[in-house]
Structure 1
């Protein structure tokens, strides 16, 4: 308490305002006594600063009230900020929860859709474990490597194709998988499931224990297919391809028909593999062309000449495969005895021209695999061989559709004698040939680029079986 005698009220007030510690003052108008209050009074009546004079008047400094108001305002602001932050956070979490539930619902609906197609969605971890770290490789094709795997029940074998350089995003990939998974036919390899996780794209197929047809096409191979089995393979393969062309909602061109892509189940029934990976009509075809470099021996002439590709390209490839199935050998033999091509006997290194000539002349018995020792159905062999020559005609318009091929093989449609395919004859004779399209038109096989390009492309057999294993004994 500070006292100032004979001081007016205004002077006392001024002195209090000039002192930061002053919270109020007492003033007596009669005695002009001024007493400054330096600490907040807890109880005014019992305060030691009280003089007891009845004329003393206590004045409280107004800044205390203002400070109190300011403190209350600050508390209100802080409270509003906290409440606002909680509201924003809550709203954000609510929106995220809705989006997550919607995403989970969409994913569940999608998986339910796959379940309807009997397709299982695998995780990469599951397939890595099933294939023992992708340790047992079955083969390698244009779209990626294939590995043998065992599902969790330890009794179901599968073939896992690990796609290389997948060009589509997850949504497009899943759409393609739906298309492939919806294709069900007894002569097509069944898709069991898939994995689309991060950058991993894998397809899971049924495992074919007897491997691919290619493993039986060698005159030196101890594995021999009976004629009955060969004919059943021919008809089954034709039915599978015909279904892709004519039985699906969207026409699917396989683009890579060859023995490596014809697999055999435990009963030696034919199963066409790798369908749908090459192209759904109208989609990215440039990548498909890039993967075909190793199997030019089965590629139709119009493909090489740059003309649009149709289902007749598959028909040509099937015809070339039929010749190999009939003869029990590959169409192109790169390693002949002595290391040189026998120009007098071209059939030793290039089978189709010689086979076509003999078949047209009625000498089918010379073309059929000699290891059968004549144990084959002559009518079936003649029909099958003649169909093969119709399929490899230079002009795609002359080639029959695959549905017609099936009827021709089964004897429902009469098979007439076909004209000789001039292009493959020109390949070994060196004669000039006005072929298919601009790329081969007016080209001399002895001097021009067209036929030499074809011969360069007639390489040795392609990759191993995609979804099959090493065949046991032959039927």
Structure 2
């Protein structure tokens, strides 16, 4: 062994006392048991690990241990490379990572033997662990003979060179590092990346590389975050790599550079994350394909895929998961099987499950017959699992093989009159519980627009059925909600005695659940004529979604005329209570910024994170609640509008609260998610200034004149654009705020309240702008704001507001605040100075 090598080992032993040399210096033990090695700047850690469970905690799910690399700074381990993903070890205490005398890197265990070995052709004499996350073996001349970067698992890191031989393969499940079904590779033309199922079936691609970006994913190349480079494009020698733009000193400390990673997730999506050192959180920058049901074979044979469900896969009526344990671990690949076994006695029936499609090619038999004849032909063939029939053309297509990953046709372009019928057993069908019907109707609904009506029908059916309360609770398990009785909630709220607040649809009371002593907020719907619709909207909207910045709906009561909703209790109330200039409670700047980012993340999840877009329609401080740590929780989904992913806008009657409603909505135009962006921008201005957007001077007792209304947004927008942020920020903070954050936050607010919805950023982009991930430039002055300040006429033809005049003292003021200026009243649309607190 060369002297230099021995000296290097001695240095390592001094720096890392976790290593030891075996007898006769034949083997160098790099790691043993629970010991780990940090990269030079402590960015990555190398060692043995056991995967965490899929429920978000750190509890182990098995006794399988793996050698891997993960980020050292992340609160929850994020693994970027796994060595022995095919052969875990069961005894970590005696497991070792060794550099053998023959120059190979091995994972060894006395019980299991050598479970992994590097495949370098030339022997290694040394190793190093870089801050890029690359484990490198070097030869006698110091050149690399093997690298973990050349043998990746599921993660693409900055600096990693991707060639035609490189493949990123997903984990089997979020808690199982063994190779999954999905992989990312360069296409055969070497000019785009493709996601493949089982390494053979491509189902998504980035689009061709143009020299600057990928056609299908422009987000994949953002110069101020990372830069792609390529060599020898369109040839077998093509290679891609990307580097991350270093952070400025204001974004991160020198020892914690900007971190980024691409991941092929176990659900078949490609995702890109960036690390926020301030919040110590990984932010998802984008994911593709956006619709999880476009991932090939995700739900397996006879599995139904729905983007509307929290978990994407379910079994249609008459079927159950083939492997229930695997489904619990989010591995749906085994699909579904018949609930009561196979049958071919001619007594089966057929269940119409809608205009659905499936992945792959299933061998079919085509006939030109009526539907009844199609049924008879299928019943006569034991291999027939169902059939398609078109009543218009009488075309019958029998499925002689179980279809994979069944999904609604809304996931596809175009529609047909083909209806899918699945074979079922008639003698067993009557024994199924109401809960099975609920799961089917909720998961196989043809479109999201009928989901509220579906739930309402189900509530009636449940009420009429003579089922026990326990069965009702089981029936709504698909919504993760508890069904309360009115008596329970009456007792929990002590007869609705402690009122927390009152809104347009009813009052909210504080309560305590008897079985857990947990505080809850109970909303009792009271508004005549609209309560039932609001009730269905809120239950259907948030019954199946969970996010840290959304108020959790625990359950509901629908009993006789009683309609109640049960939420988590927010001890610090709503944001609105802190925006009065006379409020004794003053929010610090740090808290305000956290509220702004949290609220943006909650709305962005509704718009982009849910599988069907949800437009909240009533974003305002009253609907932003604060928990015990002053974390923001978006609430009150009673006005929410659900929009399918195939629609960019929706026509709806005017909703929301005056002063926060976007101009295009008032004009009667179809709305988009940008309506929520506008409302968020108006709310953001209030949060920055620590004041409401409409301020009225109180006249004296002898003053017969109307109080003067002063409008904060026009004045604030003008000062923000001119760079006078200090004039806009709440003066009660006495200058104790982060100027960079305040500038960014205020500028984002002006971008959000642009009168042209196309100029407003999407909420996902708003989050990145607030976090400093996306550069925030100076916005143009909104035309509506300019008109309000100058008193000129505003002709918003582009927004359908043609002829609106601000000089009349009405019109534009209505758009901004919903408060007209009666004759003789004094109104100021953003004067030179704000009124005194």
Which interval holds the TM-score relative to the shorter structure?
A: 0.5 to 0.7
Match of 1:293, SS? Answer: coil
Distance in 1 (alpha carbons) for counterparts of 2:645 and 2:389: 100
Distance in 2 (alpha carbons) for counterparts of 1:414 and 1:53: 41
How far the C-alpha of 1:165 sits from its partner, in A, is 4.5
How far the C-alpha of 1:149 sits from its partner, in A, is 1.1
- Partner deviation per Cα, 1:363-400 (whole Å, 9 max, x = no partner): 11111111111111111100000000000000000000
How far the C-alpha of 1:157 sits from its partner, in A, is 1.1
Greater fraction helix: 1
- Partner deviation per Cα, 1:84-141 (whole Å, 9 max, x = no partner): 9999999999999999999456986652243454421100111111112212221122
| More displaced stretch, 200-209 vs 286-295 | 286-295
Distance in 2 (alpha carbons) for counterparts of 1:358 and 1:33: 67
Match of 1:273 among 631, 635, 654: 635
Distance in 2 (alpha carbons) for counterparts of 1:50 and 1:239: 29
1:261 touches 1:465 (CA, 8 Å); kept in 2?
A: no
Distance in 1 (alpha carbons) for counterparts of 2:413 and 2:739: 141
Matches within 5 A, 1:97-116: 103=465, 111-115=473-477
Distance in 1 (alpha carbons) for counterparts of 2:713 and 2:439: 91
Greater RCO, 1 or 2 (C-alpha within 8 Å, sep 6+): 1
1:445 touches 1:451 (CA, 8 Å); kept in 2?
A: yes
Relative to structure 1, the CA distance from residue 289 to residue 320 in structure 2 (aligned partners, 3 Å threshold; closer, same or farther) is farther
1:191 touches 1:203 (CA, 8 Å); kept in 2?
A: yes
Distance in 1 (alpha carbons) for counterparts of 2:723 and 2:413: 144
Distance in 1 (alpha carbons) for counterparts of 2:621 and 2:781: 24
Distance in 2 (alpha carbons) for counterparts of 1:7 and 1:307: 47
| More displaced stretch, 182-191 vs 119-128 | 119-128
Relative to structure 1, the CA distance from residue 104 to residue 372 in structure 2 (aligned partners, 3 Å threshold; closer, same or farther) is same
Distance in 2 (alpha carbons) for counterparts of 1:48 and 1:243: 21
- Partner deviation per Cα, 1:169-205 (whole Å, 9 max, x = no partner): 9899668625422110000000011001112111100
Match of 2:643, SS? Answer: coil
Match of 2:383, SS? Answer: coil
1:315 touches 1:400 (CA, 8 Å); kept in 2?
A: yes
| More displaced stretch, 40-49 vs 105-114 | 40-49
How far the C-alpha of 1:334 sits from its partner, in A, is 2.1
How far the C-alpha of 1:49 sits from its partner, in A, is 104
How far the C-alpha of 1:410 sits from its partner, in A, is 0.3
| More displaced stretch, 259-268 vs 422-431 | 422-431
Distance in 2 (alpha carbons) for counterparts of 1:238 and 1:52: 34
Distance in 1 (alpha carbons) for counterparts of 2:430 and 2:520: 79
1:243 aligns with 2:605: yes
Matches within 5 A, 1:143-154: 143-153=505-515
Relative to structure 1, the CA distance from residue 30 to residue 457 in structure 2 (aligned partners, 3 Å threshold; closer, same or farther) is closer
How far the C-alpha of 1:150 sits from its partner, in A, is 1.3
Relative to structure 1, the CA distance from residue 68 to residue 222 in structure 2 (aligned partners, 3 Å threshold; closer, same or farther) is closer
1:467 aligns with 2:832: no
When normalised by structure 2's length, the TM-score is 0.40
Aligned to 1:422: 783
Distance in 1 (alpha carbons) for counterparts of 2:532 and 2:596: 37
Relative to structure 1, the CA distance from residue 103 to residue 234 in structure 2 (aligned partners, 3 Å threshold; closer, same or farther) is same
How far the C-alpha of 1:316 sits from its partner, in A, is 0.3
Distance in 2 (alpha carbons) for counterparts of 1:52 and 1:406: 34
| More displaced stretch, 270-279 vs 235-244 | 270-279
| More displaced stretch, 100-109 vs 121-130 | 100-109
Relative to structure 1, the CA distance from residue 160 to residue 42 in structure 2 (aligned partners, 3 Å threshold; closer, same or farther) is closer
How far the C-alpha of 1:38 sits from its partner, in A, is 89
How far the C-alpha of 1:147 sits from its partner, in A, is 1.1
| More displaced stretch, 72-81 vs 227-236 | 72-81
1:209 touches 1:469 (CA, 8 Å); kept in 2?
A: no
1:394 touches 1:421 (CA, 8 Å); kept in 2?
A: yes
Relative to structure 1, the CA distance from residue 327 to residue 103 in structure 2 (aligned partners, 3 Å threshold; closer, same or farther) is same
Aligned to 1:263: 625
Relative to structure 1, the CA distance from residue 395 to residue 278 in structure 2 (aligned partners, 3 Å threshold; closer, same or farther) is same
Relative to structure 1, the CA distance from residue 395 to residue 192 in structure 2 (aligned partners, 3 Å threshold; closer, same or farther) is same
- Partner deviation per Cα, 1:225-254 (whole Å, 9 max, x = no partner): 111100000000000000011111221111
How far the C-alpha of 1:440 sits from its partner, in A, is 2.7
- Partner deviation per Cα, 1:337-369 (whole Å, 9 max, x = no partner): 6x7999999998211111111111111111111
2:574 touches 2:623 (CA, 8 Å); kept in 1?
A: yes
Aligned to 2:710: 349
Aligned to 2:818: 457
Give the structure with higher Rg (CA).
1
Which sections of structure 1, spanning at least 5 residues, go unmatched? none
Match of 2:743, SS? Answer: helix
Relative to structure 1, the CA distance from residue 252 to residue 166 in structure 2 (aligned partners, 3 Å threshold; closer, same or farther) is farther
2:660 touches 2:816 (CA, 8 Å); kept in 1?
A: no
Relative to structure 1, the CA distance from residue 374 to residue 133 in structure 2 (aligned partners, 3 Å threshold; closer, same or farther) is same
How well do the aligned residues superpose, as a CA RMSD in angstroms?
Answer: 26.7
Matches within 5 A, 1:83-98: none
1:300 touches 1:316 (CA, 8 Å); kept in 2?
A: yes
Aligned to 1:375: 736
Aligned to 1:443: 804
2:510 touches 2:519 (CA, 8 Å); kept in 1?
A: yes
Match of 1:336, SS? Answer: coil
Distance in 1 (alpha carbons) for counterparts of 2:609 and 2:397: 110
| More displaced stretch, 205-214 vs 173-182 | 173-182
1:332 touches 1:459 (CA, 8 Å); kept in 2?
A: no
When normalised by structure 1's length, the TM-score is 0.68
| More displaced stretch, 292-301 vs 415-424 | 292-301
Relative to structure 1, the CA distance from residue 469 to residue 122 in structure 2 (aligned partners, 3 Å threshold; closer, same or farther) is farther
Relative to structure 1, the CA distance from residue 445 to residue 195 in structure 2 (aligned partners, 3 Å threshold; closer, same or farther) is same
Match of 1:410 among 771, 785, 801: 771
Which sections of structure 2, spanning at least 5 residues, go unmatched? 1-364
1:212 touches 1:468 (CA, 8 Å); kept in 2?
A: no
1:206 touches 1:467 (CA, 8 Å); kept in 2?
A: no
How far the C-alpha of 1:451 sits from its partner, in A, is 2.3
Distance in 1 (alpha carbons) for counterparts of 2:689 and 2:727: 9
How far the C-alpha of 1:163 sits from its partner, in A, is 1.7
Relative to structure 1, the CA distance from residue 409 to residue 136 in structure 2 (aligned partners, 3 Å threshold; closer, same or farther) is same
| More displaced stretch, 390-399 vs 364-373 | 364-373
Relative to structure 1, the CA distance from residue 348 to residue 154 in structure 2 (aligned partners, 3 Å threshold; closer, same or farther) is same
Distance in 2 (alpha carbons) for counterparts of 1:386 and 1:33: 59
Distance in 1 (alpha carbons) for counterparts of 2:366 and 2:809: 126
How far the C-alpha of 1:449 sits from its partner, in A, is 5.5
1:443 touches 1:451 (CA, 8 Å); kept in 2?
A: yes
How far the C-alpha of 1:268 sits from its partner, in A, is 0.3
| More displaced stretch, 107-116 vs 222-231 | 107-116
1:209 touches 1:471 (CA, 8 Å); kept in 2?
A: no
Distance in 2 (alpha carbons) for counterparts of 1:306 and 1:235: 30
Relative to structure 1, the CA distance from residue 217 to residue 290 in structure 2 (aligned partners, 3 Å threshold; closer, same or farther) is farther
Distance in 2 (alpha carbons) for counterparts of 1:402 and 1:55: 37
